[in-house]
Structure formats: structure tokens, C-alpha cells
Amino acid sequence: MSEWKTIKLQFIAKVNMGQSPLSISVNRESIGLPFLQANADFGDVNPIPQCWCTSPRKIAKEKELLLSIRAPVGEINIADQDYCIGRGLSSICFFGIHNSFGYYAIQQNLSFLHRRSQGSTFLAVNKKDVSELPLFIPTGAAAAKEQAKIAEVLGAIDAVIEKTKAIIAKYQRIKEGTLQDLLTNGIDEHGQIRSPKTHKYKPSKLGMIPMEWECVALNQAVKVFSGSTPSTASDANWNGDISWLTPADLSVVKYQYIWDSERHLTQTGLRNSTNRLLPAGSLILSSRAPVGYCAIVPMPFSFNQGCKGLVPRQYVDPSFLCYLLATQKKAFERFSSGTTFLEFPKKELARFLLKMPKRNEVGIIEQRHISLKLQQIDSVLERHDETLAKLELQKQGLMQDLLTNRVSVEPLLKKRGQAS
């Protein structure tokens, strides 16, 4: 067993602070070394450069760690080739410990850099801060082997995490393509996606649409209601059991339905406002800072003035409408106005045009078929999202155990070997 000690980074690694090259030497034509200005060019593990440089001033070598030192502090990547690095980054070349182990050890103690970061315009750390970063590491004759074994265990779970992220990205691309097809062409009576080559289309205010579709104002598809906020000075209005939605609540919804809110009203709070409870199956749309987030409420909800409540009219499927409105976020933003924050006025929202299957007994069947196909993709995405969350939690626990010497790495390696 190795003896674990806390050692400052400067004694086991060389810290190289980035420096911006002359702007005349920077290009987007892949000429010279790839140039990284800051963590905006970071990927999950390796950078994704957008620019190149013909006269670099500071270079990070392949396999060195790349550390974001300003706005934000503490993001990490690994150089998969030589890079020119700007002043938003530093590179770290380990000479006293296993490189991959160092990568995880720094991740484990980024809170040190967060505490050291300072600045009036944006937070940053300097070379002294980075050099003094304390790392808890195995030392002694067996240290290199133990570090390598710990890196192997953590690297294995990272590989599974990256594989899961790749699957999620694949299905997100599938969903984007499917959304475009279904919400442009729809599904015919045989369950096939229509095409202008094989089906009849007609002109509308939103361009060519299938003969079975129509172009409607939003208030023809739903009843639109405004929300409100009761007095925050009265405790009697708050901390009850009535969910009260805001745009912030909607911004974190991924799969159509929203199940709760951060704040809740009492019955008194509901009575003391102009608010109303939306019935289950209604939609909530954020109309103010940020604009365009949409979700379905599975139970009665209240909401504030930054949202609009949408109650579907006859022959309008809530799930279909939610998918459709989610694709209109950029359009909502374009039509919004405001000097302090963007807001989509109720009158403008009511007149907002949509193209959709006709609102009749046949049309709502098509709406439901469309939403079912999209729900099937969402189901796969949600399942992989849950897997990813469990893996990241497992990695967090392993790092806490292995990088504090609370748990020996040997039993984990034996268990992994038996499983394989």
C-alpha cells in the first residue's frame, strides 16, 4: 500500500499559462495549429477547435491537461494533439504522477480554484493559484501502480458515460429529423409520412401544407389565459400545496410533462390573485424571459405573469400541440419585444400562426399518431438519460472513495475482472 500525501501541483507538474496570439495570425481555414481561446472550445473530453493559428505564443502539448482559468474557472479537457492556447486556458504537464490519475485528482479538488477565483468583470485565477492547487495522491515505491489502477477504474466508467452520451446524441438527431418530417408533412391514413412527390399539397400563409392540414391562429386551437403573482409580502399566500409555475420551472422540462414547481400557493394565495387553476391536460407556455418553453400539466396548476395558460379546444391533442410549439421557440423570440427582457404579448400570441392537421375527428387521429411516434423516441431518450444520471452518480461516488483513499482500488479491480 502507498502512503497518501497532500502535495501542491507545482511539485508534480509544470503549469503553462496561455497567451493570446496576434489576431492577424488567427484563421478559420485550418492553417497552422488549432487555437483554443477558452473553454468555449471544450468538448466532453477533448477540445473541438473553431480557429487555427500560424504564430502561436503558448502551446499545449498532446496528452497535457487543459484547464479553464477564467469565466468559468475549472473546466477540464485533455489535449488530443498540440494546441495553441489563449489566455483563458492553462496547460498542465505532469512529471511526478500518472497523467490520467492527475486528471481525476484535479477534478476532485476544483473547489480550491473556485474559492481562489476573483475579478470584478469575470472570475479568474492566476498561475500562483493553479500552482498551489493541493492534490491528495499516493506516494512511495508503489504509487505509480496504484495511480494507474485508480485511473483505470475511473477511465472505465468514463468510457461507459461517453458511450451513453453518444447514444443520446444519436437519438436526439433522430428526433430532430423526425420532428421536421412529421410537423411539415404529417402521416397519411396508411401510417406513412407524406411527401410532395406522392401526396397533394396546397398553399397557405405558412407555405405549402398537406391537403388534410390547415393554417390556424393559436387562439383557434386553444383558449389563452394570463397568470399572476399574489403579494409576496404576505406569508398567507405562500408555501401551500398548489403548484405555481414560472418560466424558470419550464426551462428545465425535457419531456413534455411538468410535475411540480419550485414555489407553491395556498388557497388564500390563489384567491388573492387574478390567477386560475388550469385543468389537467392544458399547456403552459413561457411568454417572458425566457420566451418559448412549453409543457403539459398533468394536474391543475397555477402560474405567474411570465407564462400563458393554453387550454386546447375540441379536436386539438395536447401532446401534438406541445411538440409543435416547442419547435417555434426561435419564432416566438423574434416576435417578442422589450428593453429589460423579452416578452410575447397575449394579443400577438393569440394571433400566432400554426400549421397542423385539421381540427376534426380525422385530424385529431393524425395529431395523436404524430405525437405517439415522437413519444416513442422520447421514451428511449429518457431511459438513456436516466442511465447517464446513474453512471455520473456512480462515478462521483467512486472518485470520492478512491481519491480520498477511503476505499482500496484492488477489490474494485478484482470485482471488475470477475464481471468481465
Percent helix, strand, coil in the chain, to 5, is: 40, 25, 35
Question: How far apart are alpha carbons 364 and 316 in whole angstroms?
Answer: 6
* Residue 393 pLDDT exceeds 70: yes
Residues 6 or more apart whose CB falls under 8 angstroms from that of 132 comprise 8, 9, 10
Predicted model pTM: 0.86
> With contact defined as beta carbons under 8 Å apart, do 133 and 8 qualify?
yes
Check whether the bond before 138 is cis (ω within 30° of 0): no
What are the structural domains, with CATH classification, of the chain? 3-137 (3.90.220.20), 141-198+359-420 (1.10.287.1120), 213-357 (3.90.220.20)
Average pLDDT over every residue of 156-167? 96
> What percent of the chain lies above the pLDDT cut of 70?
97
Residue 152 per-residue DSSP state:
H
> 276-304 pLDDT, tens per residue?
899 999 999 999 878 999 999 999 999 99
pLDDT at 293: 95
> 108-126 pLDDT, tens per residue?
999 999 999 987 678 899 9
The β-bridge partners of 314 are: none
Distances (CA, A) of 6 to 109, 124, 132, 223, 310: 11, 24, 11, 63, 58
> 28-55 pLDDT, tens per residue?
999 999 999 999 999 999 999 999 999 9
* Residue 275 pLDDT exceeds 80: no
Check whether the bond before 72 is cis (ω within 30° of 0): yes
The β-bridge partners of 244 are: 263, 302
89: its cell numbers: 486556458
Average pLDDT over every residue of 188-207? 96
Q: Residue 138: phi, psi to the nearest 5?
A: -70, 140
